[in-house]
Amino acid sequence: MKQVAVLVGSLRRESLNRKLAEALMFLGEGKLAMEIVEIGGLPLYNEDLWADPPEAVTAFKAAIAKADAVLIVTPEYNRSMPAAIKNALDWGSRPMGQSVWPGKKAAMAGASPGAVGTAVAQAALRTTIVTLGMALMGQPELYLSVKDDTFAPDGGIGNEKTAKFLAGFVDKFAAWVG
């Protein structure tokens, strides 16, 4: 089964995006081997640290290197991607010539209580993902505008229409990853 590294752009415990990532992982069971690769322990990117790279950085790069694909599930912060996601993408792209991103299949998703459901953040993220040489799935797009009933108290998806849409997204991503 193809391995997917899942990156979650929010570091908070009750993150809607972590819930969305977990729902997508549940729906992908048996189709994709999806695992969250944590990014909260990465230091801010600093070129000097390559002289003696922190364990968090080498472990992160190794986890991405062994994955066939990447799924980024992220909130929108001030009409862009959160710094945590950009920082992780930057670490993976260096040292020059040793980027772990080229050729990875990729997809984006995001959840927000707002009406635009992370569309603006994903527009910014799209540019970076493509620049890094990943093969980004263009359709379907997943902008989840979270309502009171979107997530059930047990973390599952609270309404059938959303569950069906998310299942379709995972199926298309599995086909994209090949």
* Binding flag, residue 147, ligand FNR (CB under 6 A): no
> What HEC string does 8-58 produce?
ECCCCCCCHHHHHHHHHHHHCCCCCEEEECCCCCCCCCCHHHHHCCCHHHH
Judged by CB under 6 A, the number of residues near ligand FNR is 14
Decide: is 116 part of the binding site for ligand FNR (CB under 6 A): yes
10 lines the binding site for ligand FNR (CB under 6 A): yes
89 vs 61: CA distance, rounded Å: 10
List 22, 34, 75, 129, residue binding ligand FNR (CB under 6 A) = 75
By CB atoms closer than 10 A (0-12, 13-18, 19+), residue 158 is: middle
- Tokens representing residue 39 in the block: 């990014």
Should residue 28 be labelled a site residue for ligand FNR when binding is judged by CB under 6 A?
Answer: no
Show the tokens assigned to 117: 């459901």
Q: In the numeric block, which tokens belong to residue 59? A: 């472990």
Question: Any contact of residue 114 with ligand FNR (CB under 6 A)?
Answer: yes
Paired tokens of 15: 């993150």
Minimum distance between the CB of residue 128 and ligand FNR, rounded to whole angstroms?
17
- Considering the rule CB under 6 A, would residue 150 count as an interface residue with ligand FNR? no
Among 6, 15, 106, 137, binds ligand FNR (CB under 6 A): 15
Asked if 113 is part of the footprint of ligand FNR (rule: CB under 6 A), the reply reads yes
Nearer to ligand FNR among residue 22 and residue 76 (C-beta):
76
Does 164 bind ligand FNR (CB under 6 A)? Our answer is no
Taking the CA atoms of residue 19, residue 123, residue 83 and residue 55 in that order, the dihedral angle to the nearest 10 degrees is: 70
Residues interacting with ligand FNR, by CB under 6 A? 10, 12, 15-17, 75-79, 112-114, 116
